[in-house]
């Protein structure tokens, strides 16, 4: 039988799982075991050492833990949950960290162990590494679902919890992907365009940071500046003509979004964006 409620087992010793297990460990939780793809996999042994916990097999990971956190890639959650079912302590809580998955991933687990409690906690934060992620946890928001204890764990991590129903999960996760991954992809475009213009990418940092801060302070509609919001079509045209053809689709797509945000129902702008698309992108005209 497990000794304390504040006992945690980790399955999936990657960036998110290690960060959260470490944060809970620092706030007094005892980590009972770490399971990865194999007990001797480098990520399993290094995370286990860092958490002062034994490496374990997934099939044994529930032993002695009041809470099991699954932090594997999303596609593995269901099979991992099923694999650990037999080892779970009575009434254990099992939760995952995925934004894209609901609680239905635990259907097979609950069939095998109807006494288990299930939930999910998706921190709206990007953990590119454990060291960077730890400092960013406090004050971040997190989507929670399922057993109320998940909300208590979020509170211990200083996360601001909100609930998302399974039926709106995909919409929610799509917004998170745009907010994180697509913003980074867009900055990849800025980096390429800066290089083509012979200017340093770093010079854009204050501009990007101010624009993002303004969008949250003034809301996106109030923060929009630039040629689209001013209706300066000549400038938009000169951009499209100067850009590498490979950069035009993203520029156009976001120019349309800017026009939508600015409330510009502008036929001339639509024509400009469409004309250049139909012109075949053969290069500057």
- Which parts of this chain interact with ligand NAP (CB under 6 A)? 11-17, 35-37, 41, 43, 58, 71-74, 76, 80, 97-99, 122-123, 125-127
Nearer to ligand NAP, 176 or 254 (CB): 176
Closest CB 173 distance from ligand NAP, rounded Å: 9
13 or 193: CB nearest ligand NAP: 13
Please tell me the distance from the alpha carbon of residue 217 to that of residue 239, in angstroms, as a whole number: 29
How far apart, in whole angstroms, are the C-alpha atoms of residue 181 and residue 204? Answer: 18
Q: Please state, as a whole number, how many other Cβ atoms lie within 10 Å of the Cβ of residue 4.
A: 12
In whole angstroms, the minimum distance from the beta carbon of 13 to ligand NAP comes to: 4
Residue closer to ligand NAP, measured from CB, 99 or 102 = 99
- Output 42 or 226, the one with its CB closest to ligand NAP: 42
- State the nearest-atom distance from the C-beta of 43 to ligand NAP, in Å: 3
User: Cβ-closest residue to ligand NAP?
Assistant: 14
Compute CA distances 160 → 126, 140, 154, 193, 214, whole Å.
15, 6, 7, 37, 22
Report in angstroms the alpha-carbon separations of 70 from 60, 81, 118, 159: 14, 8, 11, 18
Q: Are 29 and 51 in contact (CB under 8 A)?
A: no
Minimum CB separation of residue 80 from ligand NAP in Å reads 5
| Least distance to ligand NAP, CB of residue 50, Å | 13
Of the candidates 39, 40, 37, the one whose C-alpha atom is nearest the C-alpha of residue 14 is 37
Report the first-to-last Cα separation within the chain, whole angstroms.
Answer: 75
In the complex, what is the shortest distance from the CB of residue 92 to ligand NAP, in angstroms, rounded to a whole number?
17
Alpha-carbon distance of 69 to 119, in angstroms, equals 10
Output the six-digit token pair for 95.
């939760």
Nearer to ligand NAP among residue 12 and residue 119 (C-beta): 12
160 token code pair:
């601001």
Alpha helices in the chain (DSSP H): 15-26, 42-50, 77-84, 107-112, 130-136, 149-156, 169-177, 183-197, 205-223, 227-230, 233-242, 245-262, 267-278
Of the pair 59, 211, the CB lying nearest ligand NAP is at: 59
Pick 35 or 153: Cβ nearer ligand NAP:
35
Shortest CB 83 distance to ligand NAP, Å: 8
Using the minimum distance from each CB to ligand NAP, give the nearer residue, 185 or 253: 185
The DSSP 8-state label assigned to residue 179 in this structure reads: I
Considering the complex, what minimum distance in angstroms separates the CB of residue 181 from ligand NAP? 10
């Amino acid at each position: 039988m497990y000794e304390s409620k504040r006992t945690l087992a980790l399955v999936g010793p990657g960036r998110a799982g290690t960060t959260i297990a470490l944060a809970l460990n620092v706030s007094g939780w005892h980590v009972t075991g770490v399971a990865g793809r194999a007990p001797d996999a480098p990520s399993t042994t290094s995370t286990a050492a860092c958490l002062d916990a034994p490496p374990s097999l997934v099939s044994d990971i529930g032993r002695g833990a009041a809470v099991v956190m699954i932090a594997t890639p999303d596609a593995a959650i269901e099979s991992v949950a099923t694999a650990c079912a037999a080892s779970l302590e009575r009434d254990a809580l099992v939760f995952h960290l995925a934004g894209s998955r609901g609680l239905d991933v635990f259907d097979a687990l609950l069939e095998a162990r109807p006494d288990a409690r299930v939930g999910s906690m998706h921190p709206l934060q990007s953990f590119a590494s454990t060291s960077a992620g730890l400092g960013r946890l406090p004050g971040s928001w997190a989507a929670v679902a399922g057993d109320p204890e998940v909300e208590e764990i979020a509170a211990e991590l200083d996360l601001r919890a909100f609930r998302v129903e399974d039926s709106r999960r995909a919409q929610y996760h799509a917004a998170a992907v745009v907010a994180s991954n697509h913003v980074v992809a867009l900055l990849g475009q800025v980096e390429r365009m800066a290089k083509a213009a012979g200017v340093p990418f770093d010079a854009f940092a204050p501009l990007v940071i101010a624009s993002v801060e303004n969008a949250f302070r003034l809301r996106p509609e109030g923060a929009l500046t630039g040629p689209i919001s001013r209706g300066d079509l000549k400038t938009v045209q000169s951009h499209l003509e100067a850009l590498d053809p490979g950069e035009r689709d993203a520029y156009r797509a976001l120019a349309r979004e800017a026009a939508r945000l600015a409330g510009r129902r502008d036929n001339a702008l639509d024509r400009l964006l469409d004309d250049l698309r139909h012109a075949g992108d053969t290069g500057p005209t």
